[in-house]
Structure 1
Amino acid sequence: MSRPPPRYIKLQDFPAHNGNVNCIKIGTKSSGVLVTGGDDKKVNLWTIGAQTKALSLQGHQTPVDSVTFDHNEEVVAAGASSGSIKLFDLDQAKVTRAMSGHRSNVLCLELSQYGLLSGSMDTNVKVWDLRGRDVMCTFKGHKVGVTHVKFSPDGKWVASASEDGQVKIWDLVANKLLSELPGHSGAVTGLHFHPVEYLLGTCSTDKTVKVWDLETMSMVDSTPAEATGVRAMAFHPDGQHVFSALQDGLRVWSWEPPPCVQHDVVDMPWFKVMRFARYDIRAML
């Protein structure tokens, strides 16, 4: 009796660092490059599909905990366990800016036209001026490490989230906390602003995706609890659908008008969910 074909097939396996790989980010413009950071203090750049690195960037003196590209995939920001952040110019393959201000591990970064956004184990969120090394503002209020940060589409607000389920909205103009969104009972694993409306989507280990109205600062919708925690979420560019990634599949939801209605399910292991997002819904991420 012949065996059924394996459900999961390893597509690629290669050593990325001399030690633990702590972070990885795929460039969303081309979806053809990725950057990794590890315990060996290095930031490595890869062409997807190749087994040898395109660049190895050095400059940190402690393990690298977070990495991100700018929109054009010309600059990489990397945060370290010491609390320092470095910007690498990929054409020159060297550090162009070094910033210090966090007291502990830099767990998340976003690099955009509005500046550099960072969140740390020290519970602080910082916004940095890309024209220099100065901190434009520091937001304090989280009780545990900040794991996710995001600029709003207009650059006026910042959303941050932490392992205790707290989501906070900050006003960059007034330099203050606007609201707390305490709706998740588990660690927040992702957040994403709606492309055109004052809405924020969040997901969590509590197995749900929630949609928040940022005019009233209240929850307007939530998906039914899944069997496992939700690992990531994103709005479709048309704003009418939400994608959520689970341990073993991808869900497609329409949320307007509430309640959320599931339209499709793609059954796949987590690494294939990541590949699907990379190639087919990269504009949302």
Structure 2
Amino acid sequence: MSRSTDPGHFFQTTTYLTESARRVSKSKNASGNPIKLASKILAVAADPENNERVYVAEAAGTVRRVVLETAEISAVYTGPTAPLTSLCISKHSNTLFAGCWDKSIWSWSCSTRKPARRYQGHNDFVKAVLCLSLHGREILISGSADASIIVWDVGTREKLYTLKGHTRGILALAIDQFTLPDPILQGTEQEKTDGGTVFFSAGSDREIRRWSLTSTSALEASPASGSPSPILSHDTSVDALLFDGDGDLWTASADKSAKCLSRQQNWEADTELAHPDFVRDVAVDEEGGWVATACRDEEVRVWEKGSGKLYHTFTGHFEEVTGLVLLPGQKLVSVSIDATIRQWSLKAPDLVKSRQDAEEERLGEKKEKEGKKKSLLTEDEERELADLMEESE
């Protein structure tokens, strides 16, 4: 006997019907010049070769390269049959990497779109990936829901190190750019002293840990005097990590906050941005002095970096916002499980106009609601009511 998948054939609550109607209505908006794709978008990454293109990872297991100005899909990368959660691109080898629910990391040549190596070794979903070149050796780092981090040699697919310390799944990885080897010195005195790098990890255990990686070792970094280990700044899962131009660490958490952890203050939080729901990602615009956040409540918020005050809210997505990326020219790109890519300008004149437009729309909606309240009675009913009131007097 066949079974229907039509929602209309099943019992649905009033709340569900109201929410569905709201999303259908909101999905028709054109805010942020939406580019509609085939399935939920779980991650976004800038194209290092073209400022007008981004890569997006879909729940359907596909990566697409999208030209923002024309909405053209310029490349499609296929192979996985499970959702892709995270992306990174190697400038060194022009390779695209994607973490997958199938417990592996897939890779493709960015230019030919042909599948390259597949990295297998985790026991659960791969939730975060990043890549770097260390003394001429291409390195891939992956974090998984199995609570482990694996460091790979990209060329040989060899597992160099497996790092443990987190008690629950890894959700985010970030390279501390202030500790990267100077490429000018590689092969000389710096390489002789085995100068490496430090990267940070965070996950659903709310811990932020630091790891030291060199050409010969990988281990948890020893904290500086007075610095906590691990860093515990949030009450629950940390979904994103990002270093700004000052070397401070920005975080996004399911405790409904984004924070700036100050390097100079031993990673103590000196800014906290409160949200009404889980914060999924964060981006920093150094040029304009803005911090942008992605929230589960469907909104993209823009905050003053210096004061931490909310400046503007971009409304357009009609499902959870899952990722942000900032492109040159102060262009902010957001993606969502509503399957759309949207673009927002953080340039001062554009932000001022966006605020004005939002305020005008809010006032217009307020007047419309007030008008509806006044028009609940017909003219005849209003006269009849007036007569009754006079009689009662």
TM-score after normalising by structure 2: 0.55
Secondary structure of 2:219 counterpart: coil
Q: Indicate conservation of the 8 Å contact 2:333/2:341, yes or no.
A: no
Q: Deviations over 1:17-38 (max 9, x none)?
A: 6xx4453314164895322334
Kindly state the Cα deviation for residue 204 of structure 1 after the two structures are TM-superposed: 1.6
Distance 1:111 1:97 in 2: 17
Kindly state the Cα deviation for residue 121 of structure 1 after the two structures are TM-superposed: 0.7
Partner residue, 2:305: 214
Partner residue, 1:161: 252
Kindly state the Cα deviation for residue 61 of structure 1 after the two structures are TM-superposed: 4.4
User: Which structure has the higher relative contact order (CA within 8 Å, separation 6+)?
Assistant: 2
Kindly state the Cα deviation for residue 218 of structure 1 after the two structures are TM-superposed: 2.2
Distance 1:147 1:178 in 2: 19
Unaligned stretches of 5+ residues in structure 2: 1-35, 39-61, 63-74, 179-197, 224-228, 356-393
Q: Indicate conservation of the 8 Å contact 1:221/1:255, yes or no.
A: no
Query: Partner amino acid for 1:46?
Result: W
1 or 2, which has the higher strand percentage?
Answer: 1
Q: Deviations over 1:231-264 (max 9, x none)?
A: 433333233x4333453342332441543539xx
Bigger Rg, which one: 2
Partner residue, 2:379: none
1 or 2, which has the higher helix percentage?
Answer: 2
Partner residue, 2:97: 35
Cα separation, partners in 2 of 1:252 and 1:216, compared to 1, 3 Å: closer
Unaligned stretches of 5+ residues in structure 1: 1-6, 263-285
Partner residue, 1:119: 202
Distance 1:84 1:180 in 2: 29
Partner residue, 1:16: 80
Distance 1:185 1:165 in 2: 6
In the alignment, which of 130, 134, 139 is matched to residue 213 of structure 2?
A: 130
Q: Indicate conservation of the 8 Å contact 2:144/2:169, yes or no.
A: yes
Kindly state the Cα deviation for residue 79 of structure 1 after the two structures are TM-superposed: 1.0
Percent identity over paired residues: 20
Kindly state the Cα deviation for residue 138 of structure 1 after the two structures are TM-superposed: 2.4
Q: Is 1:195 aligned to residue 259 of structure 2?
A: no
Q: Is 1:242 aligned to residue 332 of structure 2?
A: yes
TM-score after normalising by structure 1: 0.73
Cα separation, partners in 2 of 1:260 and 1:178, compared to 1, 3 Å: farther
Cα separation, partners in 2 of 1:260 and 1:229, compared to 1, 3 Å: farther
Cα separation, partners in 2 of 1:128 and 1:172, compared to 1, 3 Å: farther
In the alignment, which of 259, 262, 277 is matched to residue 171 of structure 1?
A: 262
Q: Deviations over 1:177-205 (max 9, x none)?
A: 222210x2232232111134543211223
In the alignment, which of 256, 261, 276 is matched to residue 354 of structure 2?
A: 261
Query: Partner amino acid for 1:122?
Result: D
Partner residue, 2:171: 107
